[in-house]
Amino acid sequence: MPVRFQKECSSGAHVLVWEAKEKEVELLSILPSSILTDAEYIESKSPLKKLEFLTSRLAIRYLANMLNIHFDGIKKDEHGKPYLVNSSWKMSITHSKYFMGVIMHPLKEVGIDIELPQKKMWRILPRLFSEHEIAYVGDDIERMSVYWSAKEALYKLYGKRGIDFKENLLLYQRENEFVGEIQMTEYHKSHLLYQQKIDDYILVWAV
C-alpha cells in the first residue's frame, strides 16, 4: 500500500501522503482513459513530471473515494489553483519527487506542501522570510524547511497571484500553536499550521 501518511484532523481536514511506487504504464491502466487528454499530462515532457501527475491523480481519487466524494477529475481556476470537478469540497495538492500529498476539507480553504530540506534554500531566505522569522529559524535546516513549506501552504490556501512571501505571509508561534497570517488588502486572516515528518521530508498543511 503506497499510502505513507493519513490523518483526519480535528479541523475537519483530511490529509493523505502517497508514495509513488507504480510505473507509468500501471497508473495508466488504473486511471480513467480521459487522463490521456488532460493538457497538463500532454504538455509534460519529463517522465518524472508525467509520473508525478498520474500519481497525484491516483492519490486524489483514493482520498475522494474514502470520503464518498464522486471523483470527476480536477481542473485549475484562473489563478492556477486546482479544484475538484463537480464538488464543493476544497482541496490542495503537493508533490516532491516520489511523495504526493493531498488535503481536502468540506468547507474551508486549505493548503499543503512537502519538501526535502536542502542547503540551497538558504540562498533565498532573505527574500522570503522576515528578520523575526530568520532569527527563529537560526541555523536549523529542518526548522527552515518547516517555515518554507508553511509559506508555500499558505500561498496555496490563498490561491491567488501577486502575493509577497516576505511581506504578506507571516509566521509565528502562539502558545502551543503554529500560526500563519495572510495579510492582503482584501484578505487578512490567520490560519493554523500543522507539520509531519515523513522519512527525511517535511509535510506542512494549513487550514
Q: Tell me if 22 sits within 8 A of 62, measured CB to CB.
A: no
- pLDDT lower than 70: segments of the chain: 1, 32-42
The structure's pTM equals: 0.91
pLDDT computed for residue 11 by the predictor = 93
pLDDT tens sequence across 11-20: 999 999 999 8
Q: Which of 7, 181, 204, 5 is nearest to 112 (CA)?
A: 204
pLDDT tens sequence across 56-93: 888 999 999 999 999 888 889 999 999 999 999 999 99
Ranges of beta strands (E only) in the chain are 3-8, 14-19, 74-76, 82-84, 90-96, 99-105, 111-115, 169-174, 177-184, 187-198, 201-206
Strands of 201-206's sheet, edge to edge?
Answer: 111-115, 201-206, 187-198, 177-184, 169-174
Give domain 114-206's CATH number out of 2.60.40, 3.40.1350, 1.20.20, 3.90.470: 3.90.470
For CATH 3.90.470.20, list the domain ranges present in the chain: 3-106
**In the CATH scheme, what is the code of domain 3-106?**
3.90.470.20
pLDDT computed for residue 39 by the predictor = 65
